[in-house]
Homo-oligomer: A and B are copies of this chain.
Amino acid sequence: MDKKEKIIDTALKLFVENGFHGTATSKIAQEAGVANGTLFNYFKTKDELVVAIYISVKEDMADFLIKNIKDSDNFKDVMKSQFWASLFWALNNQMKFKFIQQFHTSPYVDKIEQEVTQSQVLPHLKLIQTGIDKGLIKKLPVDFIYSIISSQTFGVYQYIISKQFTKVQQHETVEQTFELLWDMIK
């Protein structure tokens, strides 16, 4: 495995377990099986490492969502596929998902440029706009609807992991939540 990748993976895990400042760079290097200085060959500073992980994780998620967008004429189905994909990714990449949450509620958020995040949100906003234009969902600000769907997704995620559900129960809950969500915005 590539050393840079190994550092990112180890750091991700330790950051989620002990927090950003709670994790020493020396510990990351040690656990990743590289020398102290090697870490700084790849990332000039610790901050740069944190931000690099965030971008990497976000790309990972965005890639997954794009690949799993359902190509259908049925708008509801397309929305549903995105809702599903988001939750599927979150549940199968819990560490990465937790990292994103931790990052978003930390002072590090300010260190990232809006453009990076915006470009990943854009496809979703466009999808919602399409739904509004076709009169399939309520005429409300797109980013308001996006905000609601996002937080709903997060809410279900929290609920599911707190319950230690089986795959079947997870499936039912997600299905149920989407129907509620759809009733709300349609």
CB of A10 closer than 8 Å to a CB of B: no
**Oligomeric state, in number of copies?**
2
Q: Interface size for chain A: under 10, 10 to 19, 20 to 34, or 35 or more residues? A: 35 or more
Q: Which of A143, A159, A162 has the most CB of B within 10 A?
A: A159
Pairwise interchain contact B107-A105, C-beta atoms closer than 8 A: no
List of B residues within 8 angstroms of A177 by Cβ: 148
CB < 8 Å: which of B17, B21, B155, B180 contacts A150? B155
1/0 per residue, CB under 8 A from B, across A78-114: the answer is 0000000000000000000010011011111000000
Which residues of chain A from 151 to 180 have any CB-CB distance to chain B below 8 Å in the complex?
Answer: 151-152, 154-156, 158-159, 162, 173, 176-177, 180
Question: Complex: how many Å from CA A177 to CA B149?
Answer: 12
Pairwise interchain contact B184-A159, C-beta atoms closer than 8 A: no
Give residues in A with beta carbon < 8 Å to B. Answer: 16-22, 98, 101-102, 104-108, 140, 143-144, 147-148, 150-152, 154-156, 158-159, 162, 173, 176-177, 180-181, 183-185
List of B residues within 8 angstroms of A152 by Cβ: 148, 151-152, 155
List of B residues within 8 angstroms of A144 by Cβ: 159, 173
Question: Complex: how many Å from CA A105 to CA B105?
Answer: 7
Pairwise interchain contact A18-B155, C-beta atoms closer than 8 A: no
Pairwise interchain contact A107-B156, C-beta atoms closer than 8 A: no
Q: Which residue of B lies closest to A103 (CB)?
A: B105
Also in contact, A180 and B107, with CB within 8 A (given A19-B21, A21-B22, A143-B159): no
